[in-house]
Structure 1
Amino acid sequence: MKTILLSVLGVLMTAQAMASSQQTAPSPDAAIDYYYGKHLDIVRVVSHSEIPNVCHPVPVEMTYEDSDGQQHTVRYRVMGNGCQGG
């Protein structure tokens, strides 16, 4: 699970570094959908939703603080934790 979470956060950080356009700030309660190349100004991760124990892609949300201290929530998909073989 930690590997998946770190991979997802790595992708988000890489996308932040590669993106050159600024996003408009959504209302504080609204989650925005992430897409590859979307600029995310992540200074601190506040919370992350639980990844279910299923074997298919699932939506998750991460709330983060930007460099201005504003909180944003981004929604994206990750693979569930139920695919681990034994």
Structure 2
Amino acid sequence: MNMTKMAMVLVLGSFGAHAFAENAPAQDTPVQTYGYSTNLDIEHVISITEPANECAPVPVQMTYEDSHGERHVLQYQVMGTGCSS
């Protein structure tokens, strides 16, 4: 009985670790800076970082997969969340 519970915890834990690793930004993926002439092929957005709490343009990063399944990290500017109105 105790071994069954331990096996179940290990199985469920491995699913959680896999899901976390899939959503984590790839550390060996180079960061591309967005420009108006940047051609984007975004098939699936994986994650977007939260903007800084400043009242100014701040960088955020979007991790996504293109139509070929390759992972990319794109950095671009957004307005920070620190403006009072």
Q: TM-score if structure 1 supplies the norm length?
A: 0.63
CA-based RMSD of the aligned residues comes to 1.1
**CA-to-aligned-CA distance 1:58-84 (integer Å, 9 cap, x gap):** 111100110001100011111101114
CA contact (8 A) 2:60 2:76 kept: yes
Code of the aligned partner of 2:29: D
User: Which position in structure 2 is the counterpart of 1:48?
Assistant: 48
Residue identity (%): 48
Larger Rg: 2
Structure 1, unpaired ranges of 5+? 1-27
User: Which position in structure 2 is the counterpart of 1:66?
Assistant: 66
1:59 and 1:52 map into 2 onto residues whose CA distance is 8
User: Which position in structure 2 is the counterpart of 1:35?
Assistant: 35
User: Which position in structure 2 is the counterpart of 1:9?
Assistant: none
Q: Which runs of 4+ in 1 moved over 3 A?
A: none
Number of equivalences = 58
